Chain A
Amino acid sequence: MSTHSKAAEAFIADSERTAWHNRALWFVREKRDRMARSIPEWEALRDAAAHTKMHTITHLAYYLEMFERNAVANGIHVHWAKDAQEHNETVYRILSEHGARHLIKSKSMLSEECGLTPYLEERGIEAVESDLGERIMQLMHRPPSHIVLPAIHVKREEVGELFERELGTEHGNSDPTYLTHAARKHLREKFLHADAAMTGVNFAVASSGAFTVCTNEGNADMGTSFPKLHIAIMGLEKVIPDYDALALYTRLLARSATGQHSTTYTTHYKRPVEGQEIHVIIVDNGRSRILANPAHLNMLRCLRCGSCMNTCPVYRRSGGYSYSYFIPGPLGINLGMLASPKLYSGNVSACSLCMSCSNVCPVKIDLGEQIYLWRQQLDSLGLANPVKKGIVKVLNTALRNPGMFHFCVRAGRLGEKIAPRGLLYCGANAWGRDRELPKFTSRTFEQIWKEELSSTAAGSPETVPEDSSTNI
């Protein structure tokens, strides 16, 4: 069994929770659908967004240099980091230079990717997550289970207990409004006392040297409002050419992510204001390598909206922790394989190839199709599931020629008749655990054809009326 399959089985064992998780995420998918239908040009917008990203990806060096030039002219400090380690070192160096000990963070997947928080904590720097979901997960000492909705798997009662313990809220009160406002009070103190703020970057506008950060809570905005230092970190694929491009993405992002027309705050940072300093760190960490991989290059278009997770029927029923990569769902399956097939091939089974993810993606990444392609590589990487390999061997033998096929059908028919149910539905039969096997019939279609139908086939062939005007 794959790592995902095993973890998923454990998650599903709690069927009530699985149903609840599934419902909660489907609700987000439905909101996204309503948004998509409210924009007449939605599909053309996706086309343009995908095309513009492709254009950018094939001009990355050009746009990154343009962004740097303009950002520097605006008074922003720009740094480059080859990998996670250099990224973490750069953050730490900037913090040290400013004597900063208390960092207030807004949600950034790049920070998770680089393992920044533990790195800073080891060096005595307090790094506080300010997005409510991220803060819940931080207090629980668990990673986020979704990139946009980090605590989507946590029930209100569990948040209530956590906040009672950590923030001293009333015993037994799990009202989301009450709990959110308790977190507001708790984090306000953190905002006011932080000596540095960190944000991610949703879009870096090359033509202007500005960048945008999108949130609903306003936590990135609160975070950057008080301390002198603002560090913004970005994967190098976050650069876009100009404001025309930004219009496409700001129209798609929130509608796809959470089913809102826009995030509450779409904040633009162009020049540091009065006494503040802005540092942008541009991070590669394997992205330039993806550029050389034509089959998976499209992953660099990703806006990190999370819509592929919300629609994924497997993710909804297996939860974020069933995936071994820190990003779950169709996006995580693909990014995990790009990061390390050896470490993350256990997620590739988590896809029924329903292709819904490819249809919701605002930049039309062929997520499902790419998972199919990864599967083709597992065997040559020595990572194929041995059970599956065995099944394919049997299929190869059974299906290679019609004689063998019909022999196997006869054998199957016999086996079905004589084998006791306990053997047919033994532990090795993954199909039979929750499903009855289909029954062989007394004759195959081919036999029926030979014995009954073939004689009728030769007679009176007519052609389809070419002028058929009836339409149904």
Chain B
Amino acid sequence: MTSKDTILEALRANSPAPLERGPLGFTPMTFEDPLAEFRERVVKAAAARCFLLEEGRAASDAVAAIVRRTYPDAKRIASSLPEAAACATFNPDELKDPRSLAGTDIAIVRGAFGVAENGAVWIPRTFRHKALLFIPEALVILLDRTQIVCTMHEAYSREDFDTYDFGSFIAGPSKTADIEQALVIGAHGPRDVSVILL
């Protein structure tokens, strides 16, 4: 008998009477203005920056202006997005080895939607190396401002949610409080995150 069979047999033999799933039993919170709530939590809860792109200006120019203003010293800027065309210095998808991304100052990626209750953005992998989200010093996330859900319930109920191969809800920069509960930004991943709402 394989270990799998042994385990499953033990689970079946020991299982108590099955309990039905049952209804959710509550109505999840909603926000009057999910976008405003999202913007506030991106900054306050997730410790990221949040920008609302001016309307009527070419996205590429506006993104570049924000990136240059926010990260004046950045030299290596990775992106394959058209909105980042005016500021990206290389296309990360052309690199074969993700290790070559070491030394990247900024990566500009696209988020699918934002979650108002926690300030996180869902970023399914639409680029070659998942390291792109974690290795740069700063991460810039472009997000359609109409794509904000209130809670994680709504997030996971989106019809297209399960179409990713790899993805992450990212709430601000990498952080830790492992030394005396003192919050330090920039543990292993990006030290700075900007969400730009298009």
0/1 per residue, B146-180, Cβ < 8 Å to A? 00000111011100011011111111111111111
- The reply to whether B120 and A274 contact each other, CB–CB distance below 8 Å, is no
- The reply to whether B15 and A291 contact each other, CB–CB distance below 8 Å, is yes
- Which chain B residue lies CB-closest to A292? B14
- Which chain A residue lies CB-closest to B26? A44
Expressed in whole angstroms, the minimum distance between the Cβ of A229 and any Cβ of chain B is: 14
Q: Does A264 contact B (CB under 8 A)?
A: yes
Which of chain B's residues have a CB closer than 8 A to the CB of A131? 178
Q: Does A294 contact B (CB under 8 A)?
A: yes
Pick the residue among B11, B98, B188 that contacts A226 (CB under 8 A): B98
Q: Does A231 contact B (CB under 8 A)?
A: no
Q: Does A101 contact B (CB under 8 A)?
A: no
Q: Does B69 contact A (CB under 8 A)?
A: no
Expressed in whole angstroms, the minimum distance between the Cβ of B29 and any Cβ of chain A is: 6
Q: Does A267 contact B (CB under 8 A)?
A: yes
The stretch among B2-10, B49-57, B71-79 that forms the contact with chain A is B2-10
Expressed in whole angstroms, the minimum distance between the Cβ of B11 and any Cβ of chain A is: 4
Q: Does A406 contact B (CB under 8 A)?
A: no
- The reply to whether A149 and B181 contact each other, CB–CB distance below 8 Å, is yes
- The reply to whether B10 and A288 contact each other, CB–CB distance below 8 Å, is yes
- The reply to whether A297 and B168 contact each other, CB–CB distance below 8 Å, is no
- The reply to whether A284 and B187 contact each other, CB–CB distance below 8 Å, is no
Interface size on A, residues (CB 8 A): 94
- The reply to whether B162 and A222 contact each other, CB–CB distance below 8 Å, is no
Which of chain B's residues have a CB closer than 8 A to the CB of A44? 25-26
- Which chain A residue lies CB-closest to B47? A264
Of listed A149, A221, A243, residue having the most chain B CB within 10 A: A221
- The reply to whether B174 and A284 contact each other, CB–CB distance below 8 Å, is no
Which of chain B's residues have a CB closer than 8 A to the CB of A149? 177-178, 181
- The reply to whether A284 and B167 contact each other, CB–CB distance below 8 Å, is no
Expressed in whole angstroms, the minimum distance between the Cβ of B18 and any Cβ of chain A is: 5
- The reply to whether A265 and B169 contact each other, CB–CB distance below 8 Å, is yes
Pick the residue among A51, A224, A266 that contacts B120 (CB under 8 A): A266
- A:227-268 near B, CB below 8 Å: 236, 241, 243-244, 246-247, 250-251, 258, 260-268
The stretch among A56-64, A444-452, A457-465 that forms the contact with chain B is A56-64
CA distance A264 to B133 in the complex (A): 12
Q: Does B80 contact A (CB under 8 A)?
A: no
Report if A267-B29 is in contact (Cβ < 8 Å); known contacts: A218-B134, A261-B41. Answer: no
Report if A297-B16 is in contact (Cβ < 8 Å); known contacts: A51-B22, A247-B155. Answer: yes
- The reply to whether A184 and B26 contact each other, CB–CB distance below 8 Å, is no
- Which chain A residue lies CB-closest to B153? A247
CA distance A58 to B168 in the complex (A): 30
- The reply to whether A61 and B165 contact each other, CB–CB distance below 8 Å, is no
- The reply to whether A225 and B98 contact each other, CB–CB distance below 8 Å, is yes
Which of chain B's residues have a CB closer than 8 A to the CB of A268? 164, 166-168
Pick the residue among A52, A80, A154, A264 that contacts B7 (CB under 8 A): A80
Q: Does B82 contact A (CB under 8 A)?
A: no
- The reply to whether B15 and A156 contact each other, CB–CB distance below 8 Å, is no
* The 7 nearest A-B residue pairs measured at CB: A218-B189, A217-B187, A44-B26, A225-B131, A261-B118, A133-B178, A292-B14
**Interface residues, chain A, with chain B CB atoms under 8 Å away:** 24, 27-28, 39-41, 44-45, 47-48, 51-52, 54-55, 57-61, 64-65, 68, 74, 80-82, 86, 130-133, 136, 149-152, 154-156, 159, 176-177, 179-181, 183-184, 187-188, 191-192, 208, 210, 216-219, 221-222, 224-226, 236, 241, 243-244, 246-247, 250-251, 258, 260-274, 282, 284, 288-289, 291-292, 294, 297
Mind listing 10 A-B residue pairs with CB under 8 Å? A44-B25, A48-B24, A149-B178, A181-B186, A216-B176, A243-B157, A267-B168, A268-B167, A269-B166, A292-B13
**Interface residues, chain B, with chain A CB atoms under 8 Å away:** 2-4, 6-8, 10-22, 24-29, 41, 45-46, 98-99, 102, 115, 117-120, 125, 128-131, 133-135, 151-153, 155-157, 161-162, 164-182, 184, 186-190
Q: A176-B180, A184-B186, A247-B157 given. 8 additional CB < 8 A pairs?
A: A55-B20, A80-B4, A133-B176, A217-B175, A226-B99, A247-B151, A264-B174, A270-B167
